[in-house]
Structure 1
C-alpha cells in the first residue's frame, strides 16, 4: 500500500533475456492482476517468501508503475495455448506455481494449474461458476435466497421492455442489469424504468459485445434493498465479513469497506450460514471464495459467488480485523503447507478502507502517500488511480494491539 515503485522495462514474451531469470525452484506466475490492494499485497508477500515472481497479463492490461521492480511483467494474450507454450519454453522442468488475483483470469489460471498438475481450485467448477446464470441456478437448487433474475439476450430486450411498460411479465422495476460474466461492479447498474434500461444499454452495448456464446446476454435481476456485505471463505470455512459502502447513484461504485458490520448476532449467523451452504454446494472448497450478499429485513440474499481471492483491501481487512491472513494462506496452499482455519464470528478489531473517487471535491485529492501510526491506530494513504472504478486514492485505517512498554 506504499507509493508505487517504477517498474523496469517490460519483458516482451519473445525476449530471450527472460529465460535467464526464470525456471527457479521457487517461481510463481501471477496470471493477470489489478491495481488494487490485494494484488499489491500478494506480490509483496510472495517476494518476501523468496519467490521469483512473474506477472503474465494481456498487452492492454499492463499495470505499469505499480509493482516492485523485482516482479517482472510479461505481456501475453490471455489464451490457454499461448500461455502454456510460454510456460513450457521458460519452465521446461520445474513448473512455477500459478495463481490469479483477477476474476477475468480465474478460468485461465485454474486451467493452467490443472493441466500442469499444480495445486489450485477445480478448473471445471471455476469455469462453470464464472457465469452468473450458473450461480443463480446453484442458489435456487440449494434453496438459498438470491434476488430473482432472468437471462436475456440483447435481441430480446425490446420485447421485454414493452412488457414492462404495459404491466406484464416478471421482475417489475426497479431492476439491476449486469453482464453474465463480469468483474466487480463493472457494467452493473440500477434501472428505475424501461427508459433507464434502454439508456443504459445504449451506453454499454460495446461492453457486452464479445461475451462467450452466440448471442450477447445480460442478467436482469430483482433489486433487493438493504446493506451489502462481502463474506470471505477459505477451504470452505468462513473467515470474515465486512460492510460494503457504495457511492450514491445507480452504478454501485465501490466507496469502501468496513469491519463495522451493523448486524445483530442472528442476522450475522444467517449470513454466514447462507454463504457456507453456497460454497459447499458449489464444491469450491480449495482456497479463497468471495461472496457478495444483501441483507434485507435480517435475511441474507446471495448476489454473487466468486472463485477467487477478494480485491480492494478486503484481504487486508480480514487480516487486521479477524486475524486470518488470506494472502498468506493462499501461498501456503500453493506450497502444500497446512492452513489452520479460525473459528471466526465477529471481528476482533476495527479496520476499514475508504476510496476517493472522481466525483469527490478536488481538494480531497492527493498524489503522495504516507502512514500515520501510534500505539493504537495506523492510517495509510496513497494514490490509486483506477479509471473504470472512478477511483483515485485510498485511506486505510486499522486498530492494532497496543505496544507493551517495559
Structure 2
C-alpha cells in the first residue's frame, strides 16, 4: 500500500509546495486537503492529489482521512501553516500519529494567551493590554505610552498590525480592526519594542539558526528582506537562543518546528511573536542554502515517525529581498526573473503573482509580489549580488481607472 503524507491547508508564499516536493523525495504520496486548493502553489504540482474540503470541520477531515486509509497507508499528517496546526494535532491524536500538542498550539496562536504565558514564565516581552472597543484601546495606549502596536489577537503574516504614533492613528486603526472583526473583537495593544529584528528557527528543542528580518514602509510591517546568519557575537547568539528556547517551556511546545521573532532592545532580546511552525518561504530555503540543513524534510520525518537530524554541512551567507508592490491596480506584467536567476550567486527568483492579478495593498505579507535570494561568502557580497538581481526585475501596474499604465522596478 502506498504511503501518503496528508497536508492540511496550504500557504500562498511557497512553503506548501516545498512540503510537497520534500514528501515526494521521501517516497511519500502527498495529498492536500484544502477548502480551496486552487489558491495554493502546491495545487498544480505533479503527482499531488488535491481534495476540496472544509478545513474548519474536524469531523469532515476525520471522515476524509478514514476514507483515504482504504487506499493509502497514512504515514503522517502535517501542515505548512500555523492556522491549521491545531487541527493537525487533533487529527494526529485521532489516528495515533506523531504530531503537535493541539492545546499548546491553540494557546500559542492566541496572541493574548501567548503573552500571558510568556510573562508568567519570565520571558521578556513588550508591555501589552487586551481591548475590545475603542475606549479600551485608547485607555491601554495611554497606560503603555505612545507609540504602540495595534494588532488582532489572532492571525499571522502581519495582517492588521500597525504602528500608531498618535491618537488619530490609534482611533483610525481601531475602527479598521473593529470593522473587520467577524466575532467579538479582541485587539492587542502593545509597547513598540525598538531594535534590530531577529528570528530564531527551532526544531524540537534545538535552536538551528538565527536570521535578521527588516520591513518596508512603516507604519505597516511588510517584509522587505532577511539574511542568515545574523551578525551576532557568540554571547549574543547564546542569549537569543536561551530566550527563544525558554518560550517553548512557557508555551508547552517543543515538538516539531517553532519560529520565534525578537527585537534586540535596550534591555536585550524581547520576544515579539512565537509561531508553532517553520518560518514562511523563503526562510527554509535560506537555512538550507546557508547551512545545508533541510528543516522541511526534518519536519516531515518527525511527522511520519522516522529518525531525523540537523547537521550543518557548510556555512554560507544568504540574503533575500522581497518584491513589494508600489501601488494598487492591475498587474500588467512582471519579468526579469530569468535574467536575474542567471546571475552568479543568485540562488532563487520566485514570483507569487501572475499578470492580470488585481493588486490591493493591505500593509502585510500580501503586498509581496515575490522574492530573490543570493548566496555568497559575506553579507556585503551577498547584498551586492542581490541588488544586481533585484535591479533586473520590472513590473507594470495600471492604477484603477487610469488610462495609461505605469512601470516600476522593485527598488
**TM-score in terms of structure 1 length:** 0.82
Return the match for 1:304 from 273, 287, 294. 273
CA distances 1:97-138 after superposition (whole Å, capped 9, x unpaired): 111111211111111111111111112211221111121112
1:150 positional shift: 0.9
Q: Which runs of structure 2 are paired with 1:39-78 in the superposition (5 Å)?
A: 39-59=16-36, 62-63=39-40, 67-78=44-55
Change (3 A) 1:367 1:181: farther
Return the match for 2:220 from 232, 239, 251. 251
Give the Cα separation in 2 of the matches to 1:142 and 1:172.
Answer: 24
CA distances 1:309-357 after superposition (whole Å, capped 9, x unpaired): 221211111122133211111121123222224589xx92111221111
Indicate the residue corresponding to 2:349 in structure 1.
381
Indicate the residue corresponding to 1:149 in structure 2.
128
CA distances 1:142-196 after superposition (whole Å, capped 9, x unpaired): 1111001011113xx22542686xxxx5111111011111012111111112210
CA contact (8 A) 2:132 2:185 kept: yes
Note the residue ranges of structure 1 that are not aligned, 5 or more in a row: 1-23, 401-406
1:85 aligns with 2:63: yes
Aligned length in residues: 364
Give the Cα separation in 2 of the matches to 1:381 and 1:364.
Answer: 16
Indicate the residue corresponding to 1:358 in structure 2.
325
Secondary structure of the structure 2 residue equivalent to 1:139: helix
Return the match for 2:259 from 275, 287, 290. 290
Secondary structure of the structure 1 residue equivalent to 2:238: helix
Secondary structure of the structure 1 residue equivalent to 2:342: strand
CA contact (8 A) 1:358 1:392 kept: yes
RMSD of aligned Cα (Å): 2.8
1:99 aligns with 2:78: yes
Give the Cα separation in 2 of the matches to 1:104 and 1:369.
Answer: 34
CA contact (8 A) 1:369 1:382 kept: no
Return the match for 1:199 from 172, 186, 191. 172
Note the residue ranges of structure 2 that are not aligned, 5 or more in a row: 354-358, 378-411
CA contact (8 A) 1:152 1:217 kept: yes
Indicate the residue corresponding to 1:14 in structure 2.
none
Indicate the residue corresponding to 2:5 in structure 1.
28
Indicate the residue corresponding to 1:335 in structure 2.
304
Secondary structure of the structure 1 residue equivalent to 2:316: coil
1:367 positional shift: 6.8
1:398 aligns with 2:398: no
1:57 positional shift: 1.3
Give the Cα separation in 2 of the matches to 1:122 and 1:181.
Answer: 18
**TM-score in terms of structure 2 length:** 0.81
Return the match for 1:186 from 159, 165, 184. 159
Return the match for 1:277 from 220, 241, 246. 246
Indicate the residue corresponding to 2:316 in structure 1.
349
Structure with the larger RCO, 1 or 2 (CA within 8 Å, 6+ apart): 1
Change (3 A) 1:272 1:189: same
Return the match for 2:188 from 216, 219, 224. 219
Give the Cα separation in 1 of the matches to 2:33 and 2:336.
Answer: 28
Indicate the residue corresponding to 1:372 in structure 2.
342
Give the Cα separation in 2 of the matches to 1:171 and 1:47.
Answer: 50
Greater CA drift, 356-365 or 125-134:
356-365
